[in-house]
Amino acid sequence: MTNIAFITGATSGFGRAAARRFAQDGWSLVLSGRRMERLIELKEELNNVPVHIIQLDVRDDQAVKTAVTELPAEFAQIKVLINNAGLALAPQSAEKVDLKDWHTMIDTNITGLVNVTHALLPTLIKTGAGSSVINIGSIAGEWPYPGSHVYGASKAFVKQFSYNLRCDLLGTGVRVTDIAPGMAETEFTLVRTKGDQQASDNLYKTTTPLSAEDIAEQMFYVATLPDHININRLEVMPTRQAWSPFAVDRD
């Protein structure tokens, strides 16, 4: 049986790197994202494997259901779902945030993830042993920091949802993993700051962050383990990133 991976948010960052890594090993791919021109470019690049692209906003549950229902037969038997679509917005303190930014993070990082998972669970269960749900969380789901507010809370949901899904899928052979990256140099900060290139450059300069390819390699590792092994959560940080002491308010 051909191995098929369904990757959301495949137009940039971890999702695009994952598409390239799985294609390198001959997997067929279903790639979704909101920017069709980038999906077309990626499909043309990955011409060594079968690729099906879908312009999709994961927040739209009906669109997600339709996309899954209408998968061509040769792409229908998904073995790995990579829930990568997500974003962070509003790095300022909570009281300064536009409420719409909170709603966008919740709708994408939580609602979008459950929409795609719910739509593909019957297929993954049918595929059985060796199939996987790989959710892209964040160290922010475990470790709080100023300006993380709803972003961190949404990634904490991803962590707990992954654990709970494992319980429900016991006996099906379907594995579930929460991969939680630390600092990684992608378009993440550009999106979070709404295009502030200087802010992005300042965050990553003079250190060595993770790359999208580093995380894609972890996704591939998790997806290709022997069927009887499940990595529940994989937290990955750069060697040069660690935790700070507790903050204290003083007179």
Each residue's pLDDT, cut to its tens digit, for the chain (251 residues) gives 689 999 999 999 999 999 999 999 999 999 999 999 999 999 999 999 999 999 999 999 999 999 999 999 999 999 999 999 999 998 899 999 999 999 999 999 999 999 999 999 999 999 999 999 999 999 999 999 999 999 999 999 999 999 999 999 999 999 999 999 999 998 877 788 888 888 888 889 999 999 999 999 999 999 999 999 999 999 999 999 999 989 999 99
* Neighbour-count burial for 227-237, b at 16+ CB within 10 Å, e otherwise: eeeebebbbeb
Facing residues of 178 across strands? 135, 233
- CATH code of 4-236, in short, is 3.40.50.720
SS3 of residue 108 by DSSP: helix
pLDDT digits (tens, 9 = 90+) for 184-203: 998 877 788 888 888 888 88
Q: Supply the pLDDT for residue 202.
A: 86
Please tell me the predicted confidence (pLDDT) of residue 2: 86
Instruction: Give CA–CA dist 248/246, Å, rounded.
Output: 6
The whole-angstrom distance between residue 103's C-alpha and the CA centroid of its chain comes to 18
pLDDT confidence of residue 194: 81
Distances (CA, A) of 148 to 74, 180, 229: 41, 15, 32
Q: Is 237 helix (H, G, I), strand (E, B) or coil?
A: coil
Residues 215, 177 contacting (CB under 8 angstroms): no
Whether residue 44 contacts residue 96, with contact meaning beta carbons closer than 8 Å, is answered with no
Q: Is the pTM of this model over 0.85?
A: yes
Give me the catalytic one of 145, 151, 163, 204: 151
Instruction: Look at residue 43 in the predicted model and tell me its pLDDT.
Output: 97
Coil vs helix vs strand at 230:
coil
Number of CB atoms found within 10 A of residue 96's CB:
9
d(CA 206, CA 219): 27
Of 236, 114, 240, 122, residue with least CA distance to 179? 236
3-class secondary structure, 46:
coil
**151 in catalytic set:** yes
Give the domain ranges of the chain: 4-236
Distance CA 162, CA 89 (A): 23
